[in-house]
């Protein structure tokens, strides 16, 4: 509510409403006896609380700090508002303070404010610990202590550590690694912790984005929901950029040769009952990497099989099933792959990961010749992630490969190429990164479309809408 008032379009109205709000809150809390041990303290806190609010609202942060300090010292339990706005007040006060000793004292006081907030208002310890760690590093440049604090926050609840704090955390981690404070395995564990935190946050955001995008498409979205959709997309973008930047920095460490040194038989023996270690090993070894030869991973490491089997036996979760599915694909055990990937899909909460599982499921169906099921899986991938273009490339491929099997004459049998090309154009629209691949496939498939003269012989003209039968079941436009 306060944030909403602070964002009002009219400055005078903002001051008025904020003043009223602070006054009402203050009067309520005076009645509750949270303003100090006596009437003099209550009066002093009441007055300074209102002054602090009004000055904060007018962006007079240095002046607001002095009134805030009176409130904090006399009645620290008066309101959570005292703590919500403290970091910004301290930021301006610290910046304005030239004396190093006084500055250090202010930073120490800010750390204590975070501790007091966690004591007085429990339930957000992870979020506050991460914020405290971020400010501790910001003002003290103490890598070792910040590293410990960030890890504490991630242990408490990784879903509450926002991307900007995770970015600071990994800067600290890289410094620790470069200065031999942590080894390569410690570096990868920290990377895995960041990835897990991002994934937990992305699950909620992706679900919300999917729901709101559907409402936006239908025209039933409210202005408030549009703002939420915009914020969610921005946060997801920040998270994606963070992971991408981290992986670029880690590229020399993420090679399969390095992975094989870290995830070896000795390490597996020591961690074979540690579900967290197994999950992280599988994630690192199974991670797809783009290079000059295409996409690859490190799952040919024998430890991948051992870790996958151990984790699946211990906890047949989505990730465990996904790992077993990947092994099945590599060993060309298509039926097993179908079972494992369906299990992963059924358990997965993140629609983006679910979409990738659907695509692998489609591949397994294609390998056993079940093209209708492969199409259904591709559509499942698109439903899970409407911005995922690769299922359309794959669907175009299986359409094109079915040429000659759908229909009774030369026109009908080759009309599938139009359906394939339609999918490729759609893939380009939703994912520009696929443009080069899609254009290459379009050029190849255009050679196969029905000849104009043959089409005319069978009564089909340019611009006509034609329904392809059999399992494809698509309507296309005849065009030459």
Q: How many CB atoms lie within 10 A of CB 134?
A: 24
**pLDDT one-digit tens code per residue, 384-393:** 999 999 999 9
pLDDT attached to residue 322: 95
Domain 320-477 superfamily per CATH: Tetratricopeptide repeat domain (1.25.40.10)
Contacts 24+ apart (CB under 8 A), 147-152: 147/172, 147/173, 147/176, 147/181, 151/193
Compute and round to an integer the Cα radius of gyration of the chain: 29
Q: Check: CB of residue 206 under 8 Å from CB of residue 233.
A: no
Ranges of the chain whose pLDDT falls below 70: 1-34, 36, 290-295
pLDDT attached to residue 2: 32
On the 0-12 / 13-18 / 19+ scale of CB atoms within 10 A, 175 is middle
**pLDDT one-digit tens code per residue, 165-213:** 999 999 999 999 999 999 988 999 999 999 999 988 888 898 899 899 8
Token output for 110: 């800010």
Give the C-alpha separation, 348 to 321, whole Å. 10
Give domain limits for the chain: 1-122, 320-477
């Amino acid at each position: 509510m306060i944030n909403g008032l602070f964002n009002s379009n009219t400055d005078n109205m903002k001051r008025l409403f904020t003043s009223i709000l602070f006054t009402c809150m203050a009067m309520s809390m005076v009645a509750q006896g949270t303003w100090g041990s006596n009437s003099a303290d209550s009066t002093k806190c009441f007055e300074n609380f209102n002054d602090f609010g009004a000055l904060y609202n007018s962006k007079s942060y240095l002046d607001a700090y002095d009134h805030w300090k009176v409130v904090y010292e006399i009645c620290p339990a008066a309101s959570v508002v005292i703590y919500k706005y403290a970091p910004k007040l301290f930021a301006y006060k610290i910046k304005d303070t030239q004396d190093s000793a006084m500055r250090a004292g202010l930073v120490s006081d800010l750390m204590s404010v975070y501790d007091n907030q966690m004591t007085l208002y429990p339930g957000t310890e992870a979020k506050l610990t991460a914020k405290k760690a971020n400010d501790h590093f910001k003002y003290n440049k103490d890598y070792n202590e910040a590293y410990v604090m960030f890890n504490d926050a991630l242990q408490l609840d990784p879903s509450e550590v926002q991307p900007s704090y995770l970015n600071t955390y990994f800067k600290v981690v890289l410094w620790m690694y470069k200065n031999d404070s942590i080894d390569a395995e410690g570096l990868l564990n920290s990377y895995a912790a960041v990835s897990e935190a991002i994934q937990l946050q992305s699950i909620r955001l992706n679900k919300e984005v999917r729901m709101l995008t559907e409402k936006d498409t239908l025209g039933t979205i409210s202005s408030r929901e549009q703002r939420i959709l915009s914020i969610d997309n921005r946060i997801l973008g920040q998270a994606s950029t963070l992971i991408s930047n981290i992986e670029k920095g880690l590229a020399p460490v993420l090679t399969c040769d390095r992975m094989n040194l870290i995830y070896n038989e000795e390490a597996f023996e020591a961690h074979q009952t540690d579900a967290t270690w197994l999950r992280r090993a599988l994630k690192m070894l199974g991670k797809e990497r783009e290079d000059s030869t295409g996409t690859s991973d490190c799952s040919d490491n024998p430890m991948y099989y051992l870790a996958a089997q151990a984790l699946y036996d211990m906890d047949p979760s989505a990730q465990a099933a996904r790992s077993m599915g990947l092994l099945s694909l590599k060993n060309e055990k298509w039926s097993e792959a179908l079972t494992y990937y369906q299990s992963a899909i059924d358990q997965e909460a993140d629609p983006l990961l679910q979409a990738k599982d659907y695509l692998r499921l489609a591949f397994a169906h294609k390998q056993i010749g079940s093209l209708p099921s492969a199409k259904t899986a591709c559509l499942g991938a698109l439903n899970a992630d409407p911005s995922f273009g690769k299922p359309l490339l794959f669907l175009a491929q299986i359409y094109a490969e079915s040429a000659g099997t759908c229909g009774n004459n030369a026109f009908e049998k080759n009309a599938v190429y139009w359906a394939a090309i339609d999918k490729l154009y759609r893939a380009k629209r939703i994912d520009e990164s696929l443009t080069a691949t899609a254009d290459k496939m379009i050029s190849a498939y255009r050679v196969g479309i029905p000849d104009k003269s043959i089409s005319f012989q069978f009564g089909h003209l340019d611009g006509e809408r034609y329904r392809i039968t059999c399992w494809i079941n698509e309507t296309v436009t005849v065009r030459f």
